Chain A
Amino acid sequence: MAGYVPDWSLERRGAIDQRRHLEKIKEALKERLGDLVSDESIIASDGKRVVKVPLRSLEQYKFRFHPWQGDRVGQDRGEHRPGDVLGRVPDGQRVGPGKGQQPGDVPGVDYLEAEVTLEDIQSLLFSELGLPYLKQKPLSEVPQPTWVFKDIRPKGLMGNLDKRKSLKENLLRNARAGRPHVGHLRDRDLRFKTWIDEPLPEDNAVVIAMRDISGSMGDFKKLMARTFAFWMLKFLRTQYQAVDVVFLVHHTQAREVSEDEFFQLGESGGTKVSSVYQLCLEVIQSRYPPSQWNIYPIHFSDGDNWSDADNRRTVELLQRMLPMVNVFGYGEIREGGYTSTLMSAFSRIQHPRFKMVTITQKQDVYPALKTFFPRQGG
């Protein structure tokens, strides 16, 4: 077949199977999401670092010889003498004092690793989260203007004619011609009001992050609060045009702080949760009217509250806030297995918008995120 040129671009099996392999990597990463979400180095990287994640499930196992047993033949340019050291056995393969052999776990070290960035994790994670409990705005409140007349243009609908501006243009044109007067109106004198779309206030959200900074909140608890808040903010920022964040901290008294302070502060003293719920309520009422804002308060504490009286007061404030918010989250971070008094006070609240999670270890952050932002229903 003279002159026949095959179209090699039709050979796509390699590309297709490669894509399937990448899909499998993605699936495997999804299974590891719990660990990845709470990996400090990923969060600290802020998108710049690449993390290597071992993916055992994608290894191609077969019957093979022990990779570090027995001799082999190598090749050089004659420079090595018997006894020369060529290299060291990789970590995990060593048998040294104190390391001990771990039967059943020794040879399988060279497993596949995937390189993962913050963005990869983000897209995996966010595909698992949803935004239920979007507020149903009462009909009476709907006529929020979603557009405004802001601009004047020489073309437009006659109904939107700006008579005043048009007359002024006419006057100016005549003046430029040497005879300042109103008259001889031309099409080009006309000016029209033009509207532009205003972003809906419904597209805005505010996160009110509250954290217990009392003496009992140690480094682990701080880190978990930080991790959770990190992903929560990232997620909400993908869902809304603008996300405001208000940071409140409390021990026996509550105050508003900067983002840095929020994550750094550690103080001594007792805990009075009602103080911060009171402040939260005030912030909502004074700055973020619920009719216009999607509100996501989230509170981290170890639940070691001051007294039962304060627990009651806290529950009361919470119940006042619940109708105003999209989701109110309470994340109890603790290292032991007991149930706090605050948790038991809260557990009597049955409200779909109130979400309670307990974080006792790193891996709990991911399920907690899923509880707060379930993909379906609500």
Chain B
Amino acid sequence: MANLYPTDGELWQLARDQGLDPYPVVFESVPASVLYQYAAYLIPGRMSHWTYGKAYHLMKTRYDYGLNKLYEMVINSNPAYAFLLDSNSELENTFVRCHVMGHVDFFRHNQWFRHTIPDVVDVVSRHAERVRQYEFEVGREAVERFLDAVLAIEEHVSPPSPVSPGSVPRPVRARPSKVPADLWDWAPRDGPTHRVKPETEEADDLLLFLMTESRHLEEWQRDIIGMVRDEMIYLWPQLRTKIMNEGWASYWHVALMRSLTLTDRDYVDFARLHSQVTAPLPYHVNPYALGYAIFSDLERREGREAIFLARTVDDDVSFVRNYLTEDVARNLGLFVYGRQQDEIVVKSRGWEVVRQQLVNELVHGGIPVIHVNDGDFHQRGELYLIHRHEGLDLDIPWAERTLHYVHQIWGRPVHLETRLEGKRLVLSYDGQVDSKVTL
């Protein structure tokens, strides 16, 4: 008799019986073109931009050549949406749905996700609709050029935390975007303009600062910054919990699959799928493998309660710092490598060295922290940014070009202070000339 695979509802109930508490999940079986599209845009229905098209093209081509296969894509929303590749076998789909249960439970209970919006798909569709409207009003080129600039710095928002939603309500101005922004924005304000108090949320949120303080923007442009920022804030918790999220989902696809009655053949296929997902990647750490190994190890040592606690309170940094053990590091074959002259060399297999290096890589999602120091630098409305240097230098040529984008949004000269090989360095761009001064 043919194997009977559980229905969506049965799987969801099974997950709950084992202690998970996922949102309701809507499963959709979709063709590869759709699955890869959602994966490239990260959220279905998101606004249009050529960079997403580039990502989509790349991912889809890799799939077409058999270099890579996505089985699913889950959306953190309530209810959650899970898209499955329509060419998956029944067994693959069962495996993938178990995996999805882990993700959706994680979305619901990890504290860093406390403030993510539950109706993200609707929200981004409305964003996409507004962007289309702006394209209609001001022209596709203008919108694209502006999005080029905003997307280049989209990561520089203040990340949401369990105590702060990150997304402050934007000032809503009820006036048509056709009115020239200058009429409104050049109205005198109280006190000195653009003054920033260091260590405020505003100072850590470049997009927010540009959106509210730039004198150069029209209303549609502020709106676009706001939309990009909202979407980034939605995605940020996923950035900071990649290892945990995949690890939790992998832990549960194993646990749930083991509790099903499978034929020997299915069991072999399941084992092969699991080992594919957790296979080591050259020069990287596979987040599925690392997260799975840490959760399994923690469960062995301290029991189920401990892993549920970690799933609730940790992010990748604290997860690795608190729970990566010598056993895990050795079993996964983790090592630290780096550059020596023109060669890439294995430097250490010491587990504490590995742990520290991993934490360094994970801090702030591996993204440089840029904060706003002054919005009225030189008392001339110039923007002064500081890169909070924490050991790694910036890619200077890239930083220079990115500064052009900041200038495009700010409309006045922009400066970025950083450190290069131990020396303080200020990069500037005034709209015509790049300059670089060592302090």
Q: Does B255 belong to the interface (CB within 8 Å)? A: no
Of the stretches A9-17, A39-47, A120-128, A309-317, the one at the interface is A9-17
User: Contact partner of B40 among A14, A96, A103, CB < 8 A?
Assistant: A14
**What distance in Å separates the Cβ of A291 from its nearest Cβ neighbour in chain B?**
49
Of the stretches B11-19, B62-70, B100-108, B339-347, the one at the interface is B339-347
Interface residues of A in 4-52 (CB under 8 A from B): 6, 8, 11, 13-22, 24
User: Contact partner of A107 among B51, B144, B395, CB < 8 A?
Assistant: B395
Q: Does A215 belong to the interface (CB within 8 Å)? A: no
User: Contact partner of A64 among B46, B283, B394, CB < 8 A?
Assistant: B394
With an 8 Å Cβ cutoff, the count of chain B residues facing the other chain is 77
Of the stretches B91-99, B190-198, B245-253, B329-337, the one at the interface is B329-337
User: Contact partner of A14 among B41, B343, B344, CB < 8 A?
Assistant: B41
User: Contact partner of A108 among B144, B334, B397, B405, CB < 8 A?
Assistant: B397
Of the stretches A73-81, A146-154, A281-289, A346-354, the one at the interface is A73-81
CB–CB A72/B152 < 8 A: no
How many Å lie between the Cα of A96 and that of B341 in the bound state? 8
* CB-CB under 8 A for A14 and B53, given A61-B401, A78-B333, A96-B342: yes
CB–CB B156/A75 < 8 A: no
Q: Does A377 belong to the interface (CB within 8 Å)? A: no
Interface residues of A in 69-95 (CB under 8 A from B): 69-89, 93-95
* CB-CB under 8 A for A65 and B368, given A73-B357, A77-B333: yes
How many Å lie between the Cα of A89 and that of B156 in the bound state? 30
CB–CB A95/B152 < 8 A: no
Q: Does A68 belong to the interface (CB within 8 Å)? A: yes
Question: What is the chain A residue whose CB lies nearest that of B421?
Answer: A69
Q: Does B436 belong to the interface (CB within 8 Å)? A: yes
User: Contact partner of B52 among A11, A14, A66, CB < 8 A?
Assistant: A14
**Which residues does chain A contribute within 8 Å of B401, judged by CB atoms?**
59, 61
Q: Does A143 belong to the interface (CB within 8 Å)? A: no
* CB-CB under 8 A for A69 and B37, given A13-B48, A62-B153: no
* CB-CB under 8 A for A95 and B53, given A63-B402, A65-B392, A67-B395: no
User: Contact partner of B283 among A16, A72, A94, CB < 8 A?
Assistant: A72
**What distance in Å separates the Cβ of A43 from its nearest Cβ neighbour in chain B?**
29
Q: Does A60 belong to the interface (CB within 8 Å)? A: yes
CB–CB A17/B53 < 8 A: yes
Q: Does A106 belong to the interface (CB within 8 Å)? A: yes
CB–CB B342/A88 < 8 A: yes
* CB-CB under 8 A for A108 and B51, given A72-B338, A75-B333: no
Question: What is the chain A residue whose CB lies nearest that of B45?
Answer: A13
CB–CB A62/B53 < 8 A: no
CB–CB B348/A63 < 8 A: no
Q: Does A336 belong to the interface (CB within 8 Å)? A: no
* CB-CB under 8 A for A70 and B346, given A11-B33, A61-B402: no
CB–CB B344/A24 < 8 A: no
How many Å lie between the Cα of A24 and that of B57 in the bound state? 14
Q: Does A104 belong to the interface (CB within 8 Å)? A: yes
* CB-CB under 8 A for A21 and B395, given A61-B405, A62-B152, A70-B338: no
Q: Does B188 belong to the interface (CB within 8 Å)? A: no
> 1/0 per residue B97-121: CB within 8 Å of A?
0000000000000000000000000
**Which residues does chain A contribute within 8 Å of B45, judged by CB atoms?**
13
**Which residues does chain A contribute within 8 Å of B36, judged by CB atoms?**
14
Q: Does B286 belong to the interface (CB within 8 Å)? A: yes
> 1/0 per residue B320-362: CB within 8 Å of A?
0000000000101111111101111111110000100110110
How many Å lie between the Cα of A15 and that of B346 in the bound state? 42
Q: Does A105 belong to the interface (CB within 8 Å)? A: yes
**Which residues does chain A contribute within 8 Å of B281, judged by CB atoms?**
75
CB–CB B337/A107 < 8 A: no
**Which residues does chain A contribute within 8 Å of B49, judged by CB atoms?**
17
CB–CB B347/A76 < 8 A: no
CB–CB B285/A88 < 8 A: no
> 1/0 per residue B20-50: CB within 8 Å of A?
0000000010110110110011000110111
Q: Does B391 belong to the interface (CB within 8 Å)? A: yes
CB–CB A61/B345 < 8 A: no
> 1/0 per residue A338-374: CB within 8 Å of B?
0000000000000000000000000000000000000
User: Contact partner of A87 among B151, B343, B392, CB < 8 A?
Assistant: B343
* CB-CB under 8 A for A61 and B337, given A14-B40, A15-B33, A104-B396: no
**Which residues does chain A contribute within 8 Å of B422, judged by CB atoms?**
none
**What distance in Å separates the Cβ of A204 from its nearest Cβ neighbour in chain B?**
43
Interface residues of B in 373-412 (CB under 8 A from A): 387, 391-402, 405
> 1/0 per residue B147-168: CB within 8 Å of A?
0000111011000000000000
26 contacting pairs across A/B (C-beta < 8 A): A14-B33, A14-B37, A19-B53, A21-B54, A22-B57, A60-B152, A61-B398, A62-B152, A64-B367, A64-B394, A65-B368, A70-B391, A72-B336, A72-B337, A72-B338, A73-B357, A75-B333, A79-B333, A82-B335, A84-B346, A85-B345, A86-B337, A88-B343, A89-B344, A94-B342, A107-B397
Q: A11-B33, A87-B343 are known contacts; what are 10 more A-B pairs with Cβ within 8 Å?
A: A8-B31, A17-B54, A20-B144, A61-B401, A62-B398, A63-B156, A65-B395, A69-B392, A93-B342, A106-B396
Those 7 A-B pairs whose CB atoms lie nearest each other, nearest first: A17-B53, A14-B37, A71-B338, A18-B53, A108-B397, A14-B56, A61-B401
